[in-house]
Structure 1
Amino acid sequence: MSYLTITPNINQNIYNMKSPLFFILFLVFIIHTASAADDVVYDVRGNKVLNNVPYHIGPVVWAKGGGIKLTDKKNNNKICPFNVVQDPAEVNIGGKFSFTQVAKENYLKTSRILGIDSGSAKSGCDVSTFWKIDDAEAKAPKNLITTGGLFDTAASCFQIVQYPKPTSPKIHSYMLQHCPYFCGAGPHTCFNVSVVVDNGVRYLASSGTPFEFVFKKIK
């Protein structure tokens, strides 16, 4: 299990401290934290990413594989719901995904609750196209991202976070976190979304090193 939690633990004794400098520094910390928590998300060309509009998402360095897509096969067998995977070919930009925030805003922002929609359902699999994770604390396949979720529910509760150590400082890159508690259930933490390799297939799941990705506007 891998997760990132940024939760300042402020002791109640701060209210008894009388140092003006302490309160000034504390106020600056709160202002900085609040502004950093809701930064606008940008695509690979530096444009603001629109809320509830389809985009391609993929790695910063495309030599490490292609874009994110759905697959209806596992071990050569048909599956439903579909798994969310990274295309092995760097020339493939992947599928189209809409990131929809619970808050009604024009642009995506970091650290906001959202759902991820894969678009129109494929024939032969009559389930929702929203992403979900059945059990973020479990091992595969329970921690794999699949379709079949419901918007604004614990299993489909995600947020975008700025990647802490970006590959390129000139490119806006991000990571996903699965935060079921924010939508009403689950452990009080967020789980990093990473790439898990099984039989050569690169699945998105809730364990390991966070997957660094960029948004790419659909032409």
Structure 2
Amino acid sequence: MKQTLPCVLLLLFIIATTSLFSSTTADQDVKDSTGNKVLDNVPYRIGPVTKGGQIKLTDTIAKKKVCPFNPVQDPAQNAIGSQFRFTMPRKTKYLRTSSVIGIDSGSSKLDQCNESTFWTVPDAEAKPPSNLITTGGGFDQAITCFQIVGYPKPTNPKVHSYMLQHCPSFCGAGPSTCFNISIHMDNGVRRFSTTGGTPFEFVFYKV
């Protein structure tokens, strides 16, 4: 017993130290395509690591006008995406991974629509279209609660790429799990959902 107790204490110390180190390193500054830190509440464009396919806000799905608007991936290689603001509830200078954020599409030049432009998931546990990302929620609500996570196996290790998760419980309600955001084809349109496909890998591009 005299030898066992010190061993147990040492093991507990190692576990505690490892957990502390993991939680510290998991929260890091988010960086853009040039390696600079991404600023909180400043416009950025986002798109895949390879050229083309940037994200834009649209008022038309399957040739029908929609309100609120929807973020979609433009398949054109030379497409210029819309500008989005990634904002943390607590005022900070730079975005951090694994922190609660809201994503605002900002004022739009699209047709008039009185809904807000915060990215929103009506029901993360439902099937499409209810679990597709649209807009219309308020800042810091469960339906607009996201976090940015470093992509686990980057396409290009030299580029800072990320994935997006919807975490309603982080903002006070909903299931206690986070949902990876992936591409979902909706009437030929590349939209985003919580349907458990391969997480969408993206990069920040400074406007």
TM-score, scaled relative to structure 1: 0.87
Equivalent residue, structure 1, for 2:187: 199
1:28-67 alignment runs, 5 A limit: 28-62=17-51, 65-67=52-54
Read off the aligned partner of 1:23 and give its amino acid letter: L
Read off the aligned partner of 2:121 and give its amino acid letter: I
Q: Give the C-alpha shift of residue 71 in structure 1.
A: 1.1
The separation in 2 between residues aligned to 1:123 and 1:83, in whole angstroms, is 13
The separation in 1 between residues aligned to 2:67 and 2:27, in whole angstroms, is 35
The separation in 2 between residues aligned to 1:115 and 1:24, in whole angstroms, is 37
> Please, which runs of 5 or more residues in structure 1 have no aligned partner?
1-15
Contact 1:58 1:93 (8 Å CA) reproduced: no
Contact 1:157 1:182 (8 Å CA) reproduced: yes
Give the ranges of 4+ consecutive aligned residues of structure 1 lying more than 4 Å apart after TM superposition: none
Equivalent residue, structure 1, for 2:57: 70
Q: Give the C-alpha shift of residue 17 in structure 1.
A: 8.7
The alignment covers a number of residue pairs equal to 201
Equivalent residue, structure 1, for 2:152: 164
Aligned-pair identity in percent equals: 59
Read off the aligned partner of 1:161 and give its amino acid letter: V
Match of 1:213 among 188, 202, 206: 202
Q: What is the CA RMSD across the aligned residues, in angstroms? A: 1.5
Contact 2:59 2:111 (8 Å CA) reproduced: no
Q: Give the C-alpha shift of residue 24 in structure 1.
A: 3.0
What is the CA deviation profile of residues 19-75 of structure 1, one whole-angstrom value per residue up to 9, with x for unaligned ones?
A: 23312321331222222231000001100000010100000112xx42101111112
The separation in 1 between residues aligned to 2:141 and 2:13, in whole angstroms, is 39
Contact 2:27 2:96 (8 Å CA) reproduced: yes
Equivalent residue, structure 1, for 2:124: 136
1:19 counterpart SS class? helix
TM-score, scaled relative to structure 2: 0.92
